[in-house]
Amino acid sequence: MVSKPNNKQIKNRRDFMKKSIMASVATFVGMPVVFAKNFPEGLVPAGILDGSLPPGLEGKSDQLIILNDKPINAETPAHLLDEALTPNDLFFVRNNGIPPVDVDVNSWTLTIEGESAKQKKTYTLKELKTKFKQHTYNLTLECGGNGRSEFYPPAKGNQWSTGAVGCASWTGVRLADVLKDVGMKSNAVYIGYYGKDTHLTGDPKKVPISRGIPIEKALEDESLIAWSMNGTDIPMLNGYPLRLVVGGFPASVSGKWLSKIVIRDRVHDGQKMKAPAYRVPCKPVAPGMKVKDEDMCIIENMPVKSLISYPKTGAMIKYGDKLPVRGKSWTSADRIEKVELSIDFGETWIDCDLEESTNKFAWQPFSAEIEFPQQGYYEVWARATDADGKKQPMILPGWNPKGYLNNACHRIALKVQ
Ligand SMILES: Nc1nc2c(c(=O)[nH]1)N[C@H]1C(S)=C(S)[C@@H](COP(=O)(O)O)O[C@H]1N2
Ligand SMILES: [Mo]
């Protein structure tokens, strides 16, 4: 259980958030925000709203919320995740380094090697597309740090609210088919990826990120090497022209601008595999506690979660009208079993209509119509339960030093008048 913050803590936290928002605006524009201390809490700076800040989001909607420009990180507002599949221009962007420039698809290659590979082999994109059977799956990608902004004490890192998630239709070849074509030694336990992005320092010897997955995960049907997203090229910022798409695990394992895969005889030890990156305490800890590196475990399966995509928080509803509510739910288990809504802060729950899963790791849209007993302020809470019987918690789940895996119920505010 996480204890409720007191008023002073809430105020400190608000001040902290305001300061960090104002600091990022100052970074974007490269000059101080003169009256920063007066900027009203909860207001989004106009320069961000009108999309005039900052450059680097080419091919993306100006409705994305920019968290950071070096590296560029942007999330999707909840109400823009209402479509069955997330359109390419609305799909969130999480970069650890600088995307490659001047990508030439015709000369792009993918090399497989490593101490547990039977040989080193290089494929052109054309070879990948013609040599192996192509597969298309709807796969949800969610950053391990999605929801981090709600943790208290605050966790450093991108302050994602709810929008570091999206589900697209990905086309490519199975990672398993390519690994089998190369041949794996019997001691293979892990794979690691390398992409063509460069380190923020500009040092060509440094790697921004090189994560990986256990072999069993790599061999799953839904683990893809993909070149197409929603029937068209993957956007530059999402890994054009080739990326891994691994559903169910944190999206950090879905390497973008994919150029090399290593087959390892040990847990991959690339950049951001070591503690505390993408790890949580192996055993729960009290909020704010320091955790030793050796007590941090790699995040694998992502928890059950859901999000309300309609209406938008803050909506005004006419009293007497039935309100359609819609959203998305996802899990690393086989499928979502049930999504419920509450308008009385969790006292009673209303069952939603739930769409069937198209395949494992696809998100499942849900919907319901709700009525309000009288005029006033309401919150709509959504709670998903998956095939393993796991339910989302109503309050913040296990605090952890890096602020990962917040799958608390999403809630929106409404006024009925
Ligand atoms: N090469 C490379 N791959 C990467 C990253 C990166 O910075 N470089 N970021 C990872 C992280 S932390 C996440 S959450 C996802 C984000 O994918 P997206 O930007 O397509 O939404 O990509 C992953 N793959
Ligand atoms: Mo991430």
**Per-residue pLDDT tens digits for 285-322:** 999 999 999 999 999 999 999 999 999 999 999 999 99
Task: Judge residue 139's burial from the number of C-beta atoms within 10 Å of its C-beta, 0-12 exposed, 13-18 middle, 19 or more buried.
Answer: buried
| Whether residue 404 has pLDDT greater than 50 | yes
For residue 237, the ligand 1 atom closest to its alpha carbon is 19
Over range 4-20, report the average pLDDT: 68
Ligand 1: does its nearest atom lie under 6 Å from the Cβ of 386? no
Q: What is the Å distance from ligand 1's center to 316 Cα?
A: 37
Q: Report residue 137's pLDDT band, with 50, 70 and 90 as the boundaries.
A: very high
Task: Judge residue 417's burial from the number of C-beta atoms within 10 Å of its C-beta, 0-12 exposed, 13-18 middle, 19 or more buried.
Answer: exposed
Structure tokens at 290: 């320091």
Q: Report residue 17's pLDDT band, with 50, 70 and 90 as the boundaries.
A: low
User: Roughly how many angstroms between the first and final C-alpha of the chain, as a whole number?
Assistant: 36
Fold held by 98-273:
Sulfite Oxidase; Chain A, domain 2 (3.90.420)
* pLDDT averaged over every residue in the chain: 93
Ligand 1: does its nearest atom lie under 6 Å from the Cβ of 97? yes
**pLDDT of res. 35:** 86
Q: What is the Å distance from ligand 2's center to 145 Cα?
A: 6
**pLDDT of res. 56:** 74
Whether 364 contacts 328, CB under 8 Å: yes
What is the tens place of the pLDDT at every residue in 229-255? 999 999 999 999 999 999 999 999 999
Ligand 1: does its nearest atom lie under 6 Å from the Cβ of 385? no
Give the side-chain half-sphere CA count within 13 A for 299.
26
Q: What is the Å distance from ligand 2's center to 251 Cα?
A: 5
Domain ranges of the chain: 98-273, 305-416
Over range 114-138, report the average pLDDT: 98
| Whether residue 210 has pLDDT greater than 90 | yes
Whether 193 contacts 229, CB under 8 Å: no
Residue 386's nearest CA partner among 350, 347, 340 is 340
Measure the CA–CA gap between 65 and 74, rounded to whole angstroms: 5
**pLDDT of res. 1:** 45
Tell the residue nearest (CA) to atom 2 of ligand 1: 256
**pLDDT of res. 179:** 98
Tell the residue nearest (CA) to atom 16 of ligand 1: 94
Q: Is 409 helix (H, G, I), strand (E, B) or coil?
A: coil
Ligand 1: does its nearest atom lie under 6 Å from the Cβ of 257? yes
CA distances from 70 to 54, 59, 161, 358, 397 (A): 10, 17, 19, 36, 30
Buried b (16+ CB within 10 A) or exposed e, 17-35: ebeebbebbeebeeeebee
User: What CATH number has the domain spanning 305-416?
Assistant: 2.60.40.650
Q: Report residue 31's pLDDT band, with 50, 70 and 90 as the boundaries.
A: low
pTM to 2 decimal places: 0.88
Q: Report residue 37's pLDDT band, with 50, 70 and 90 as the boundaries.
A: confident
Whether 74 contacts 66, CB under 8 Å: yes
Structure tokens at 387: 């095939």
Measure the CA–CA gap between 123 and 103, rounded to whole angstroms: 16
